[in-house]
Chains A and B, each alone.
Chain A
Amino acid sequence: MNLNLTLIGQAIAFAVFVWFCMKFVWPPVMQALQERQKKIADGLDAASRATRDLEVAQEEANETLRESKKQAAEILDQAHKRSSQMIEEARDQARQEGERMIASAKSEIEQEVNRAKEELREQVSRLAIVGAERILESSIDEKTHRKLLDKLAAEL
């Protein structure tokens, strides 16, 4: 257990090792560690940013969906309204048309009846004249008896 030159040798070796470690070993490892730390921090940052972006996008998508649903409902509503309106209109038109047709048919019928009445009256009046002629065996002057005949026809 003697103190001797070994002590100095050990001290020199120690100094050399420390110097070597400081120059060549420590810096690259430390640098790599720091770079990785930065990379991981960046990665985490990006991840949280992406999560935030995703949330925003989801919110937007929801918003759009909600809006389009609303629009679709509106369009559907309008279409319903429009169709019922159209049906109503069609019904109205049909009714009017029908009424008009009925009215015209009625007036035609009336005209026909009137015409038939007129004809009938004329024929009756002619028949009456013929009958009267036969009875009287003389001619009845149309002109002189016109008024009488018209009165007769009107009474029929």
Chain B
Amino acid sequence: MAGNNQTPTEYIQHHLQNLTFGNHPENGWSMAHSAQEASDMGFWAIHLDTLGWSIGLGSLFLWMFLKAGKAVTTGVPSGLQNFVELMVEFVDNSVKDTFHGKSQLIAPLSLTIFCWVFLMNLMDLVPVDILPMLAQKVGVMFGADPAHVYFKVVPTTDINATLGMSLSVFGLIIFYTIREKGITGFIGELTLHPFHSPNKLVQALFVPVNFLLETVTLLAKPVSLGLRLFGNMYAGELIFILVAMMGLWQLPLHFIWAVFHILIITLQAFIFMMLTIVYLSMAVEKH
């Protein structure tokens, strides 16, 4: 446990707080020293740990795949190339099964989502105290108070990360809808369904109702996409933290939960990818 004089509540809260840098109303641009300060910063703050880990892991993924891609041969593949080709084919098949439009973007997008989300989720399996303790040591070297060095390792337990991705997907949904169906098609989709009447007057009455329903449907997509991943990972992380407070019992329990969590990690990454493909194919296809 980090900091032996912490109460369990403090310990958990400490673990759930991001390393934040932002514009504090009193201190100006600075590191947040407490959860209160971090929330005072409002929108103008950055979670350095989330961004650092996600960008680092994303770069790791791209570097690995780029390396394999450069050494790629049409002969007998080996090692890394095998793995990369497996992933690429798996994603390519998933996309081909679901998405029937033409797009150069969807397949690489799906591959990036799957691998990136998987790697970010995978950080969940690192014992919860190791990396925060290292971060504290580093923080102390820079003269920070160890109790104020917050460090959250799993980027997908930060709602900013998941919503950042799902909102990007949302942008793509709107972009593809407009590209395939035009602005009028997009507006028509929002207002002419699900209630439809040949009578113009009745139709005019239906429009606001349709608009309300369809807007909720549309907005529910990115929100559910982001929150699903966030919720699963946050809950898993919380259980890891709780397990970490159980003394010696944490060893078997951590192992059991980690084994179970491997499934969740992969599944969530897959679901995020699959839903992205499904949403985009819905955007492209005509009803």
Q: Does B43 contact A (CB under 8 A)?
A: yes
Q: Does B112 contact A (CB under 8 A)?
A: yes
Number of interface residues of A (CB under 8 A): 30
- Which residue from chain A places its CB closest to the CB of B167 in the assembled complex? A11
Interface residues of A in 90-123 (CB under 8 A from B): none
Q: Does B92 contact A (CB under 8 A)?
A: yes
Interface residues of A in 19-39 (CB under 8 A from B): 20-22, 24-26, 28-30, 32-33, 35-36, 39
Which residues of A sit under 8 angstroms from B68, Cβ to Cβ? 29
Which residues of B sit under 8 angstroms from A11, Cβ to Cβ? 164-165, 167-168
- Which residue from chain A places its CB closest to the CB of B68 in the assembled complex? A29
Min CB distance B35 to A, Å, is: 10
Q: Is there an interface contact between B88 and A26, defined as CB atoms closer than 8 Å?
A: yes
Given A10-B51, A29-B65, residue A2 in contact with residue B73 (CB < 8 A): no
Q: Does A3 contact B (CB under 8 A)?
A: yes
Q: Is there an interface contact between B42 and A4, defined as CB atoms closer than 8 Å?
A: yes
Q: Is there an interface contact between A7 and B84, defined as CB atoms closer than 8 Å?
A: no
Which residues of A sit under 8 angstroms from B155, Cβ to Cβ? 10
**Mostly helix, strand, loop or mixed at chain B's interface?**
helix
CA distance A2 to B51 in the complex (A): 14
- Which residue from chain A places its CB closest to the CB of B87 in the assembled complex? A29
B59-90 vs A, CB cutoff 8 Å, 1 = contact: the mask equals 00110011011101111010000001100110
CA distance A10 to B61 in the complex (A): 16
A: residues with CB less than 8 A from B are 1-11, 13-15, 17-18, 20-22, 24-26, 28-30, 32-33, 35-36, 39
28 contacts between A and B (CB under 8 A): A2-B43, A2-B45, A3-B163, A4-B20, A4-B22, A4-B43, A4-B46, A5-B46, A6-B158, A6-B160, A6-B164, A13-B51, A14-B116, A14-B164, A14-B165, A17-B112, A18-B112, A21-B65, A21-B108, A21-B111, A22-B108, A22-B109, A26-B108, A29-B85, A30-B88, A30-B107, A32-B73, A36-B75
